[in-house]
Structure 1
């Protein structure tokens, strides 16, 4: 299961239900995907296929929706 948290333009922010416990979000785009750690600070974890410009935009989108993503994480995973 991979619940979508946010759709913003061509970007989709989502979680995988059975993955590591450290708070993070995946960002899908038609050209690739990225994973961002949410805590203790927002930070790129991994990426594939995205240009530097797309990565910058993905991070901006995660930052813009950060509290919404954190709230969705806590609701989905508990705590």
Structure 2
């Protein structure tokens, strides 16, 4: 589970089992976990984050979308 990026309490991660899925990023804080598709950024699944915090996380994913896409392609070799 490589951590791609860290902003405040948020860890932006991939799971090695994600190979074969479209590019996406998971964001973890404590026991909460959310998944965002990349290109275009859209919410895939949320476990525990409240709406106001999802909005903040979504803005971060959009801001660093290119960084996450590059990391995805580097990690999965696609």
**What's the TM-score, normalizing by structure 2?**
0.90
Is there any run of 5+ residues in structure 2 with no aligned partner, and where? none
Equivalent pairs counted in the alignment come to 77
Distance 1:32 1:18 in 2: 19
Is there any run of 5+ residues in structure 1 with no aligned partner, and where? none
**Equivalent residue for 1:76?**
75
What SS does structure 1 have at the residue aligned with 2:5? strand
Report the structure, 1 or 2, having the larger helix content.
2
Distance 1:32 1:60 in 2: 17
What SS does structure 1 have at the residue aligned with 2:15? coil
**Equivalent residue for 2:7?**
8
Distance 2:36 2:24 in 1: 5
Distance 1:29 1:54 in 2: 11
What SS does structure 2 have at the residue aligned with 1:18? helix
**What's the TM-score, normalizing by structure 1?**
0.89
Cα shift at 1:64: 1.3
Task: Trace 1:26-41 onto structure 2 (pairs within 5 A).
Answer: 26-30=26-30, 32-39=32-39, 41=40
RMSD of aligned alpha carbons: 1.2
